[in-house]
Structure 1
């Protein structure tokens, strides 16, 4: 990864030879007020739009839907050759799989993504919901030993109390006054004494389930529990209704939004390389040519912003904006889909949890990337397919491994926990989010470096609220629902509302 980013840095300096990082010699704090600073190319020769949106994920589509409905001239520039961003429904082993977002988190009317699904008639009643229940499943120790349901229930009860304590700590305001502490240290301190209340013979089982639940929580953030902030854990809010799958695929929601846009609104395969911004408008250099716009909404995933912002924007972003980009955590996540011709699990028992001791987790290596897998989930439409969720370094490992090595390691993992030899999967599909230049990972979370106002600072427009020429959307900019589909959707609508309000005020002044 380090070498990859060094190459990017070299490419950034070569892409525009003679163009210094401080934007044609101007101090970053000085905003150009005339289009003459943009380039030697005549502005009249460039394609102009009132609003340009970078990114055709949920945030960009939600913003475009609201703006075009109000008569705005909008163009979406998408670097990929597909629409949807981190929503990516594809085919594997003759069935539909979600390589990206899988769940609507909060199956209730307060969730705008759920409302779109209802518009499509996907959820007519509770019987249509496919609620994901993480705690349900068989918890295995090596050699096929099953942890008793009583021990599982005790462990999950402890973890639930731990989460309540974390949320209460944040809501009281005390966590923001205390020294930063990571989730692992908080967990270790709180759990050790609690475990001693139970008989010695079940303490190991309870700890294994707790470690498994903590691994699932880490997957929800995409990073190690050593980097996740305990102080900020309670900041993220969750809507009621549970986590539900979308039976026809999450891409149906994306396509529904696309269908509501004027034809030609979206241009795919057009990567934005540089953004020249001023207090009068913006110019963009892209693989498809140069564009100008009055207003720009940026929905680039935080991971890509972290890598690219230092040479993408001219003038440079203000220090407070760069610090927000740096401080917010960005998780590494992937999935591994596998098909077995002869399933080794019993019908109806494909929800399997793999439990480890803390020592085993801390000893994980690239050769043992399978230890980053904490369980298997069924792919409901195909009884021969399982999906494993992988995070942290393991998420990067699965992207660079040979497919046969992935199959071999999966079979080794199954044997380790069932005590039985199983054939290799006939097919394996690892998702590719970490090494993809357009994403650099999965989703945002509060790291030990994150400040309480980091997401808010990331969302603030430039140069200011009354003249928002550069606006920022995407799930990482939402202060309550980051890391979710509805967080992304709501952020896009937020920036559309911001722009509509500003342009309305401008129109009123012009009419006076």
Structure 2
């Protein structure tokens, strides 16, 4: 039931990522006047975070916005590109190098790639069929690929070992795709819950930052407050102070610097990693136990990028991804035995940045898990030295390096979410449920939750984050319906 005119409701959005910006945009366009958003200033590097538009088709709101702002090239926007269904795994043209310095013919390794794709597809089927035989994706992948390989590949020992080495490399890369330390932590039964959209993954020619800037430009200039880290959200009328016109707001947001902001509603769009680390101090009173437990059960890992620049390319002109194959490694192991001494062994996949005219000769290496977190503790010189030694073993040395450090960023504490063992879609729904919970006598919709980890099917994606921001804005819009003076949304 509407309590008063929604246009006068005071709404505070915590977080200035695409989820928070999307929520603010929609509320402003629907006539809400008192929307305030918190953000933080700082140097950012293009594509140090999100890289692709996954599933660039009309079903993807990020793609639609990119087209609306004219940020993509003609090929990415073509109907042909939108109609390709890749099932979430782009068909990159590979180059493969071994730890003994050999370049391997991709055709010889083709059966390994086909087997891996087939078994990964089987992993996704258990969500709808049930009866998963093992708890985790990693356990099933390892067991099933080894079984099929030994039964069906009638090849010499050398070829067998190289194919198994590629399977190991692909398993490590899957850790980066899922944002987890090991695929043994990813629940098999819920793995197929993630939905991929049609379209051949594409990038922004000028980076994701262009999309954020266009969205920010549509917001009123004075609604974003920078450098206001939040200490605690006091909700359920436990920390109220009177504001203008004698009205009392049910929520007070306390900042680290001592400032406070009153609000009728707060939309929390911060990463799940931050919630995991600070949930017991971020809200007062504490989160209900079911929500707290769901936050802890849900997986949230680290996936970092290491950019390497070379004087000249050692890869083929049509190459899109480079695989490093360790010939001396145990079969199908996606973690290293000694993180400090061998963390670079988790760095097994490199995408080629294109076009060359824009980037030069640059590779983007992907590394996930505790190995990735350890890499963040090293100096840039130590990382460059270690990676140079690695690449020299396989090919040639880079001349320059740039890396991301998402685990040690105090406001992210990692990269993105995954559905861990023992977790289900109900946990995601529980995390997304507003406070106070249904059935309470307190003022409704005091604290709302958005962000990629609150979307049941598009977790870990930018479009999932955007959709959830819109979802919570729509929740408030519906709460105050009918509104007077509603502005038609263009989103």
Structure-1-length-normalised TM-score? 0.81
Which residue matches 2:22?
62
Give the distance between the partners of 2:194 and 2:403, measured in 1 at CA.
Answer: 29
CA contact (8 A) 1:89 1:250 kept: no
Q: Which residue of 2 aligns with 1:227?
A: 185
| Alignment correspondent of 2:283 | 313
**Hey, what's the Cα distance between the residues in 1 that align with 2:76 and 2:19?**
29
Cα gap change, 1:121 to 1:89, in 2 (>3 Å): farther
| 1:243 counterpart SS class | coil
Match of 1:388 in 2: 365
Partner of 1:365: 339
> Secondary structure, in 3 states, of the residue corresponding to 1:103?
coil
Matched position secondary structure for 1:504: coil
Deviation at residue 253 of structure 1 after TM alignment: 0.8
1:236 to 166, 174, 194: 194
- CA shift in 2, pair 1:473/1:269, >3 Å: same
SS of alignment partner, residue 444 of structure 1: strand
Structure 1 distance, partners of 2:378, 2:183, is: 25
CA distance in 2, matches of 1:337, 1:460: 38
**Tell me, which stretches of 5 or more residues in structure 2 are unaligned?**
1-7, 238-248, 485-491
- Structure 1 distance, partners of 2:367, 2:101, is 21
Equivalent residue for 2:385, pick from 408, 423, 427: 408
2:403 aligned residue: 430
Structure 1, gaps ≥5 residues long: 1-47, 83-87, 91-96, 508-512
After TM superposition, give the deviation of residue 349 of structure 1 in Å. 4.2
Deviations 1:298-318 (A, max 9, x none): 001000000001111110110
Does the 8 A contact of 2:71 with 2:210 survive in 1? no
- Aligned match of 1:323: 293
1:490 to 467, 482, 486: 467
Counterparts of 1:269 and 1:105, CA distance in 2: 31
Tell me by how many angstroms 1:150 deviates. 2.7
Contact map agreement 2:120 2:141 (CA 8 A) in 1: no
Secondary structure of the residue aligned to 1:483 is coil
- Residue 137 of structure 2 is matched in structure 1 by 183
Shift of 1:355: 1.9
Moved more, 355-364 or 378-387: 355-364
1:457 aligns with 2:415: no
Structure 1 vs Structure 2 CA RMSD: 2.4
Tell me the TM-score normalized by structure 2. Answer: 0.84
CA spacing shift, 1:344–1:135, aligned 2, 3 Å: closer
Which of 153, 158, 162 in structure 1 is aligned with 2:110? 153
For the residue of structure 2 that corresponds to 1:105, the secondary structure is: coil
User: C-alpha separation between the residues in 1 aligned to 2:478 and 2:337?
Assistant: 54
Write the deviation string for residues 415-434 of structure 1: whole angstroms up to 9, x where unpaired: 2223xxx44x4332221210
